Amino acid sequence: MIPLAQPDIGETEIQYVTDVLRSGTLSMGRYVDAFEAAVARRTGNRFAIAVSSGTAGLQTVLAAWNLGPGDEVVTTPFSFVASANVILLQGAQPVFVDIEPETYNLDPDRIEAAITPRTKAILPVDVFGHPAALEQIREVASRHGLRVLEDACESLGSTLGGRPTGHPAFCDAAVFAFYPNKQITTGEGGLIVTSDEALAETCRSLRNQGRGRDGEWLHHVRLGFNFRMDELSAAVGVAQLERLDAILAAREAVAAHYTRRLQDLPGVRPPAVRPGVRLAWFVYVVLLDRGIDRDRVAKSLSDQGVPTRPYFAPIHLQPYYRSRFGWRPGAFPVTEDIGSRTLALPFFTRMAPEQVDYVADALARAINSAS
């Protein structure tokens, strides 16, 4: 049985975690500091704030901007649900805009039509690690005086025009996530990057129960969360980050092998990578031709010991969104079309070429039986 995803944990991770356990400092110590400094440097930012999850990071930035009832945020319906949920959790309104069929990212040409006097920010998502049209989005945002929060939870290590996702040229703040299926993991964890000093300070305070700048323990200057990342998680993150380039190279090799095997398979489109993009591979998601029954393909693969996942089910059609907002199929046709045909195949850093071959052969058999 091949897993759908699997973290790549080495001896250094174990050594650093042991170091934390022996040190007695399990929270707010040197591993969190080191992890933050390393990601800030890597993404060209002045500040980084490690938090307990990617979702917590996104919510912290929206809270720091004081987003609330009456405010709107333009975002994509083709994403993991958290990128829209955080807007609702702040009491603001997600305004969905359909996606580009090639990269599955927010279509920059449709954004302007969605902007109203209530719009406060744009929240693009780097879907499956592929950078959104960040330059164009930034330009639309500046023209309308809007902030950009980049959901880079799937794109640590990706670059666009030579710049890393999360770079201050692209956004006011970005958030990375480290759940075990991401490029690198901390168990649970996330991290905010920004070069805006005031925003960084507010996020630090919000993460830490609204404590003031001096961190005095029983002095709370604003309404805050406990979204701190613990030292054990950060220790894993520091070790993972030391190997990030090797991890990305290994994932790229797995993806390249998949693409070699699948590019001539009728009915299947491998992921597209735009010119100017270096993709830090998060998942390997194929697009099936219309007319192929995805459920049957998935069932056949499952019968052959290959797990898959239909990434993503559109957010606006999730039961909660349907019942709260009355969304129906047809609202975002590109998102719904792509969402009905994509299938994530097993993909992880240490996936062996023979495992990729096995999945590719199994997929060919599955397509034959389902078309």
Ligand X SMILES: *Cc1c(COP(=O)(O)O)cnc(C)c1O
150 counts as binding ligand X under rule CB under 6 A:
no
Q: Of the candidates 275, 36, 56, which has an alpha carbon nearest to the alpha carbon of residue 177?
A: 56
Name the token pair of 149.
Answer: 């929060």
Site mask, ligand X, residues 185-224, x = CB under 6 A?
-----x----------------------------------
Q: Which residues contact 207 (CB under 8 A, 6 or more apart)?
A: 49, 51, 56, 60, 224, 225, 226, 227, 228
26/48 Cα distance (integer angstroms): 19
151 counts as binding ligand X under rule CB under 6 A:
yes
196/73 Cα distance (integer angstroms): 20
59 counts as binding ligand X under rule CB under 6 A:
no
Of 13-21, 79-87, 213-221, 327-335, which segment contacts ligand X by CB under 6 A? 79-87
Name the token pair of 130.
Answer: 């592929």
55 counts as binding ligand X under rule CB under 6 A:
yes
Q: How far apart are the first and last CA of the chain?
A: 25
125 counts as binding ligand X under rule CB under 6 A:
yes
Name the token pair of 255.
Answer: 């993806």
Q: Which of 42, 130, 182, 261 is catalytic?
A: 182
155 counts as binding ligand X under rule CB under 6 A:
no
CB 240 → ligand X: shortest distance, Å? 14
Map the footprint of ligand X across residues 158-177, applying CB under 6 A: 177
284 half-sphere exposure, CB direction, 13 A CA radius: 26
Of 22-30, 80-88, 262-270, 332-340, which segment contacts ligand X by CB under 6 A? 80-88
Map the footprint of ligand X across residues 242-261, applying CB under 6 A: none
310/65 Cα distance (integer angstroms): 34
Residue closer to ligand X (CB basis): 130 or 261: 130
Answer yes or no: 299 catalytic: no
The angle at the Cα of 203, spanning 145 to 78, to the nearest 5 degrees, equals 60
Instruction: Figure out which of the listed residues 82, 199, 241, 248 binds ligand X, where binding follows CB under 6 A.
Output: 82
Active site residues: 182
Interface residues toward ligand X, by CB under 6 A: 53-55, 79-80, 82-83, 125, 151, 153-154, 177, 179, 190
